[in-house]
Amino acid sequence: MDPLTTGLLVAGLAAASFAPRAAFILFFARLPIPAAAQQGLRFVPAAVFAALVVPDIAFAGGELRLALDNPKLLAALVAGPVAWRTRNTLATILAGMAALHLAERFLA
């Protein structure tokens, strides 16, 4: 990562993280949020996380690969039940990483 990109990334993320926090404490102290926006906000984490994760595990080498020869998909199939059962991020990561490395070793 070159220094300019790094600098812009840090500055931009600082702004994108501070602005929502400061919005009402510092700036629009008396502005109401519409009810529809509040309803929508509830779904932000589930929607954004799914949109971040699924392309990374469903695609390999630029092609959709929904088959068991896709190591990341295999890792997700192992990590999913662990996440569901334990609700524990660390346990999910350990299971998923172990599955990824095993899958890459045996599929290669």
The contact set with other proteins (CB under 8 A) reads: 1, 5-6, 8-26, 29, 33, 36, 38-59, 64, 72, 75-76, 79-80, 83-84, 87-90, 92-93, 96-97, 100-101
Exposed e or buried b per residue across 50-87, where buried means at least 16 C-beta atoms within 10 angstroms of its C-beta: eeeeeeebeebeeeebeeeebbbbbbbebbeebbeeee
d(CA 68, CA 77): 10
Smaller CB separation from other proteins, 10 or 107: 10
d(CA 4, CA 47): 31
In angstroms, give the least distance from the CB of 52 to other proteins.
5
The DSSP bridge partners found for residue 64 are: 59
Smaller CB separation from other proteins, 64 or 68: 64
Enclosing H/E stretch for 32: none
In angstroms, give the least distance from the CB of 95 to other proteins.
9
In angstroms, give the least distance from the CB of 61 to other proteins.
13
In angstroms, give the least distance from the CB of 20 to other proteins.
4
Smaller CB separation from other proteins, 68 or 104: 104
